Amino acid sequence: MRYEGQIYRPPCEAHSLIIQVTIGCPWNRCTFCAMYKDRRFRTRPIGDVLDDVREARRVHRHVPAMFLADGNTIALPTDELRTLLEEAHRLFPELEHVGTYGGARYLAQDPTPAAPATPAVDREPSTTGRTTLPKVAGDPGPDRRGIREGKTVAELKELREAGLSVVYLGLESGDEEVLRRVKKGVTPDEMVAAGRKLKEAGFPVSLYVLIGLGGRDRYREHALGTAAVVNAIEPDIVRPRTLYIQEDTPLWHQRRRGEFVEAGPREALLETRLLLENITVPVTLVSDHITNYLPLHGALPRQRDQLIAAIDRTLAESDLGALRPAHFEHL
């Protein structure tokens, strides 16, 4: 199996076999994100990916869970993803879970029709020379082969039926201004459309929200907007992470220039409190990220009071500066 660059996966995929399907992120512009800034996006030849899956079968005796990396792998052509899922489930009958990342930009709209049909005679070269697939009509080149923004509900259903278990959607914020500032490339309405599409296709919906992304001046709008989008989507799980500004990201430079004032632990906890107060739909809160000041797990609205009480106790009693372990940025 081959991996290129640092591989990222959600904390809950820690025990999954990771198959690298794309390298980097096709958007790669979010100002807070450092994950793939060191590499140019490209899709791996599907034949190479399938070869990796076969290699994994030879190496691993039991694989109950798989994660398809890197960023926004959902943007790949549906037929390639379906081929990959079917092969993975055929080779690993014990496979119970396959997860991937998918941003709203690659889910919300229905895809534009493919470019005028041209004979699909070119072959995408495989680096191993073992398996090849036809190029997609209207192909923008090998780096972004077949990448299209948007999926139809029918396509998502196809992927669900082929054995994709979850698409992790990075909501980050439901506030239009915050999304614009951080160059997320989507609006709150598109976030809602993406989440609802996943639901309609039968996927459980797991949303990542980024506490602190509004900075000090916009924490309130950020929390309220995020709660509104969560209420509109009615996801199964909300997973808060807390902003940690990594060196050399565009946001890090904005902070240095004084254009972004970072929320401290107090504001982050108050923002989380406001978010919890305003989520009105039933949802499970899973705080499984090391960047969070407080691990908060529970079912809303049933355990809202307990969760808020835990935040209030922390605000009243703790040394807030010591809440986040100093070593977390290396994890």
Chain residues binding ligand SF4 by CB under 6 A are 25, 27-30, 33, 35-36, 71-72, 103, 170
Q: Which is nearer to ligand SF4, 10 or 170 (CB)?
A: 170
Distance CA 209, CA 139 (A): 33
Cis check: omega of the bond before 282, within 30 degrees of 0 = no
Minimum CB separation from ligand SF4 for residue 20, in Å? 14
Helix (H) or strand (E) holding 90: helix 78-91
Q: Which is nearer to ligand SF4, 126 or 254 (CB)?
A: 254
Q: Which is nearer to ligand SF4, 24 or 163 (CB)?
A: 24
Q: Which is nearer to ligand SF4, 33 or 133 (CB)?
A: 33
Minimum CB separation from ligand SF4 for residue 89, in Å? 26
Cα angle, residue 164 at apex, residues 160 and 167 outer, rounded to 5°: 100
Nearest to 56 by CA among 21, 92, 25: 92
Cα angle, residue 70 at apex, residues 178 and 52 outer, rounded to 5°: 170
Q: Which is nearer to ligand SF4, 71 or 163 (CB)?
A: 71
Q: Which residue has the tokens 């076999």?
A: 17
Q: Which is nearer to ligand SF4, 28 or 152 (CB)?
A: 28
Distance CA 51, CA 19 (A): 10
Minimum CB separation from ligand SF4 for residue 266, in Å? 26
| 126 DSSP 8-state letter | P
Minimum CB separation from ligand SF4 for residue 103, in Å? 4
Helices (H) and strands (E) in the chain, counts: 9, 10
Minimum CB separation from ligand SF4 for residue 293, in Å? 21
Minimum CB separation from ligand SF4 for residue 182, in Å? 8
Alpha carbon of residue 215 to chain centroid: 21
